A and B are shown apart, each in its own frame.
Chain A
């Protein structure tokens, strides 16, 4: 095992990129990208300040960066991760702390294997692509209200509610009219 395993020792600090085809055990500090085709273990005292890519990632220490596992990512008790996690299988044990986007399933590890060089950019791109869909879905909703005959000022006030129930445009046409009337009435009162 030791012959085929690389170790970043407890007091060792690596500033730069670590790449290769063997297993890596991080007991110390790596301030740079890790891209290996073997397993990566970040020990309880280990600290990685950039993205980690490997076959199977086991984290007991701290990682500030994306974790991409071709087979699995296992976050054990004591793990602290700030970054996105993606692998076919992701395990987060009780006591592990994660802040970031987590995605499991086939096809998450495979792209990483196909294009290693793009992998650093890819998770960020996916993370950016993921949130927008709700917004385009929400925008058409006010248009429906306009068709229903409500005033534009009423639509603005109802926009937040309509966005929350984005998939409901047809039924609320009548309630939307009522709301619009109520809001117009309130305006008249003022």
Chain B
């Protein structure tokens, strides 16, 4: 289980910094910085720049993303922003608008 959970119905306005995994089911506005995995679940709204070890998005994300390992945009995800990671996957059915930078 993730160490930090922003549950559905919770809104965080500001900056989140952590060394652990983060699961967002609610709303985050501001900035989200994690060293481990970040999961933005279906129904979640994130309006923030996100930095993490890896990122899985199934919800709505507006902001720039930087991940050390990988970014996976799953079906149903809606992402507006630039994505920078060594590996990026975009599943069929994910909406995406922005630049992808895979350190080519």
Contact = CB atoms under 8 A, between A and B. Distances in A.
A18 B18 contact: no
Q: Is the interface of B mostly helix, strand, loop or mixed?
A: strand
Interface string B29-72: 01000000000000000000000000000000000000000000
Interface residues of B, number: 24
Interface of A: 2-24, 27-28, 32, 36
A11 B17 CA distance: 8
Contacts of B15: 13-16
Interface stretch (B19-27, B76-84, B87-95): B19-27
Contacts, number: 89
B10 A13 contact: no
Nearest to B14: A16
A101 B30 CA distance: 34
A114 B16 CA distance: 29
14 contacts: A5-B5, A7-B7, A9-B4, A9-B22, A10-B3, A11-B19, A11-B20, A12-B4, A13-B18, A14-B16, A15-B15, A16-B14, A17-B14, A23-B7
